[in-house]
Structure 1
């Protein structure tokens, strides 16, 4: 029975390890050069064609035909260090090789729609895009489309094979690329405008991670093996029992050994949403704006690969080679063996949360403008994530002990929360052709402190931005922006049961059980935009 509890804990943890969160960190980071410079506080002063995302009512302010060519470069760096918590002990094991270590170099990867993962490790990710708008002179209607990255998170820790971060993401790529956004803005009057857009996105979700399962149960069982089994394996008494020693030396359990690797690659090639916007500008000195960005229950499809190390495979093989092991396993519905590699197709429904943002523009004098926005995103929709496999996953079969009757499905609780965030932007225009922009956005995370982990290293962060705009001539202007986002977290041992809880039956994945974890994240961003009116 203890063997089955051990493997059931490992399996349930395996599947729960793979689902990080977007949270507030990934929103609007590579969407608009002007908006980024203003701390994304632009709902009441939407920036040209990028109004498609921030407030489509702003399209009705455009006159004639125009084109916007934009490019962004962003680098994400995150690190974590591990220190044993007070009284560190995992079922009698105290020498964790990850104690007093730190994660190593982080780079970026990319997912190319229609191709997949090229395999490049990049110091930063470049995201080009182009937008166009059309307006007949004198018409209240403006039509437009744009391509942009709505959300992104990219991590690659594959440089160092011993990087302790490998147990919560060797590679991670989460992106939502809008490749078309048919939109329309309508000028109801000189002061009131409306707009609607339909962003059509390609979403990609890729996670590759090694796994280990340090919990009290596994540690206690490993100590039992050490006392019961000969060093080279084999125990004639054990053969007539449950096969505790039947896996030999490789089947000896340790809470600190690598147990498996999992790779998931999922996409949603066509996922439309809808944005509604309204803009009221009663005077040049004051404006109000609001946008509702509709969410969706994004349906992903793709493939999975589970690669199981000899520790678990040999352990199960030894159990089934004993007299009583197969009988107990058959009663509980456990597999007769675990393959070294199991692969297949899968699907998942992952909500893309709806988002509401309202803003005000104040322009007390001609050359100074202040924007303030408040936003709310329904990350509470991530109460649980639901996955469907094309076959019974052998590792998951042992989780039936925990009340999961169908080993081809899995529901993972997440427990994220919806928060309200504020953003601030200052715009100065010392001369007619030059605009200076400054932005500040303190971002509250949607991930509670007891849910944070290395796959979603998203604490509260602060975004600071600066940019300039320059008119080359009456029909052409350029915008340049640089920004820096940073945040830190400290998670004492046993406080986040997505990362470092050490309990007897912690089936939620905790590869750093009993460790105090300190981490940080830094995002550097540069954007360039060329706007041309015809």
Structure 2
């Protein structure tokens, strides 16, 4: 026992002095009412049945049988403003209609397993949960299960059809709903406990976005058309040439037009992972805890649909209606045509990152307890996301001009990081029945400043929480929590190649090329849980 204890203490000591870094993304935001109240710093003081997620060794502290009923409501508000800097130009074009605009209202939704995305849009979502634990009198083992949301972000900007953010995510839904979590806690001794849980999750990933491609090459093509093509359409010289004008007025290329729309909707209905925890409580006033939450290479399957606007369809049609256009198209790998709608099946392997969290609990006097946690999640696995289609996507064949060789795949760069993050929780015990809770979590984002975009508008944020627990009797208690998280980002033009780089071949994906983009995010949370022991 002593070597294990020394190893745990050494690991915790190494983590706590580390420099603040990029770590938090969407983990632990909606998982537990008690944990939220304490800044998610509960590894060394696991919260009852919610220990299944935060440290399953905490289950071994439970005696008898118990149930927990929980519900939370959460709303996400995010906005962005677009500014045209001095000297703005994209391939000769100097007026971007998005410049000077600000994004509109944001709503939430939830992916319903077995049904999909409902049509309603709400100012927030309400999610229930149910957990159970079983311990026979005198047994060193406790068995439990729970349902909870371990990961979630929901952004819906479809209320305003002209919202400028529609080019970088009209609707984004990422959620991981644990619907069962068979778990066991083992009381090895009065001071040392171990735990294991197997969360089984339904994961959903939805991206619906309009697309435009403001980059230098497309701008040059558009200016060439302006100088060569008459307003009425093609000319006889062009017909015997490369067909730049053959698409007519609708086929005139500009870098700022709505070019296409994309919807990807995927699920992974059965995705188990593994949580391992240890809890050492040598004194009533001092404890150390550690949990390893295993990741997975989650395999998603689902449907896709691409809708292409007349600009690209007519441009390709005109090119292939000329004498030399088909030759040029074949050399460049361009399609012979682009359908208005193309849909089918897709798949993707999107990692669910592994997560390690270490914590310490200090209760120097009966009335005050302090929790401090350090954690790391492996978001570096999200360096790039690759989506695989069941056929060659004609719209992506156009991207061969930009060096995208395989039109059966779409690779979206992310470049996320995984380093260390912290959480702090304070509990006050004015009476035997009442506990007051305060939480603070400075969530340094896993999205570097030069990788942020409106699909994942997650800058560094600060999470503030208040809550309480009231014991009605030895058999029942209630917990209440309210939390607020906020952060801002300011991304000057050409500093973020996930959003606003203006380079010759930056087609995937910089919809606000050359613009300054500044934005914010605010998350409001309220939760309630009721525990009954019997």
Between 446-455 and 35-44, report the one with greater CA deviation.
Answer: 446-455
Cross-structure match for 1:71:
71
Look up the match of 2:12.
none
Q: 1:117 maps to which residue?
A: 117
Deviations 1:487-513 (A, max 9, x none): 000000110111111122212311111
Unmatched segments (≥5 aa) in structure 1: 1-21
**Residue 188 of structure 2: aligned partner:** 188
How many angstroms does 1:403 deviate by? 4.8
Instruction: Please tell me whether residue 479 in structure 1 is matched to residue 479 in structure 2.
Output: yes
Could you tell me how far apart the structure 2 residues matched to 1:217 and 1:398 are? 13
The answer as to 2:130 corresponding to 1:152 is no
1:298-339 residue CA offsets vs partner (Å, 9 max, x unmatched): 000000000000000000000000001112222343210000
Paired residue for 2:237?
237
Residue equivalent to 2:432 = 432
TM-score by length of 2: 0.95
Contact kept in structure 2, 1:385 and 1:413, CA below 8 Å:
yes
Q: Distance in 1 between matches of 2:312 and 2:402?
A: 19
Measure the CA separation in 1 of the matches of 2:42 and 2:68. 17
**CA contact 1:110–1:120 (8 Å) conserved in 2:** no
Q: Which secondary structure state, in structure 2, belongs to the residue aligned with residue 102 of structure 1?
A: coil
Q: Is the CA contact (8 Å cut-off) linking 2:231 and 2:249 kept in structure 1? A: yes
Q: Distance in 1 between matches of 2:157 and 2:54?
A: 33
| Paired residues for 1:118-137 under 5 Å | 118-137=118-137
Q: Does 1:138 align with 2:159?
A: no
Deviation at 1:161, TM superposition (A): 1.1
| Cα distance in 2, alignment partners of residues 381 and 25 from structure 1 | 13
Q: TM-score, normalised by structure 1?
A: 0.95
Counterpart check, 1:516 vs 2:479 = no
1:474-496 superposed Cα distances (whole Å, 9 cap, x missing partner) = 10000000000000000001101
Instruction: Please name the residue that 1:88 is paired with.
Output: 88
CA contact (8 A) 1:49 1:68 kept: yes
Query: 2-side partners of 1:198 and 1:27: how far apart?
Result: 17
Q: Does 1:25 align with 2:49?
A: no
RMSD value over aligned CA atoms?
1.2
Question: Are residue 416 (structure 1) and residue 411 (structure 2) matched?
Answer: no
Deviation, 1:238, is 0.6
- Once the two structures are superposed, the pairs formed by residues 167-178 of structure 1 within 5 Å of their partners are 167-178=167-178
Compute the displacement of 1:398 (Å): 3.2
Which deviates further from its counterpart, 443-452 or 66-75? 443-452
> 2:385 — aligned with what?
385
- Matched with 2:46 is 46
Structure 2 counterparts to residues 157-306 of structure 1, below 5 A: 157-306=157-306
1:400 CA displacement: 3.5
Q: Secondary structure at the match of 2:429?
A: strand
8 Å CA contact 2:423, 2:440 repeated in 1: yes
CA contact (8 A) 1:292 1:357 kept: yes
User: Alpha carbons of 1:87 and 1:333: their partners in 2 closer, same or farther (altered >3 Å)?
Assistant: closer
* 1:215 CA displacement: 1.1
Deviations 1:21-67 (A, max 9, x none): x9723111111111000000000000000000000000000000000
CA distance in 2, matches of 1:185, 1:204: 30
Paired position in structure 2 for 1:325: 325
Deviation per CA, 1:88-146: give whole Å up to 9, x if none: 11122112111111001101011100110111100101110000000001000000000
How far 1:87 sits from its partner (Å)? 0.8
The answer on whether the counterparts of 1:419 and 1:445 sit within 8 Å (CA) in structure 2 is no
Equivalent residue number for residue 464 of structure 1: 464
Deviations 1:275-317 (A, max 9, x none): 0000000011100000000000000000000000000000000
Deviations 1:228-258 (A, max 9, x none): 1010101110111110000000000111110
Q: Is the 1:30–1:127 Cα contact (8 Å) retained in structure 2?
A: no
Separation in 2 of the partners of 1:452 and 1:411? 17
Contact 1:25 1:461 in 2 (8 A): no
- Tell me if structure 1 keeps the 8 A contact 2:216–2:502: yes
Q: Counterparts of 2:165 and 2:404 in 1: how far apart (Å)? A: 29
Please say if residues 212 and 259 of structure 1, whose CA atoms lie closer than 8 Å, have aligned partners that are also in contact.
yes
Residue of structure 1 in register with 2:105 after alignment: 105
Question: Any residues of structure 2 matched to 1:6-17 within 5 Å, and which?
Answer: none
* Secondary structure of the structure 2 residue equivalent to 1:430: coil
1:367 is displaced (CA, Å) by 1.2
Provide the rounded CA distance (Å) in 2 between the counterparts of 1:398 and 1:307. 14
Provide, for residues 353-402 of structure 1, a one-character-per-residue CA deviation record: whole Å limited to 9, x for no partner.
10000000000011110000000011111122222111111112233445
Residues 23, 443 of structure 2: 8 Å contact kept: no
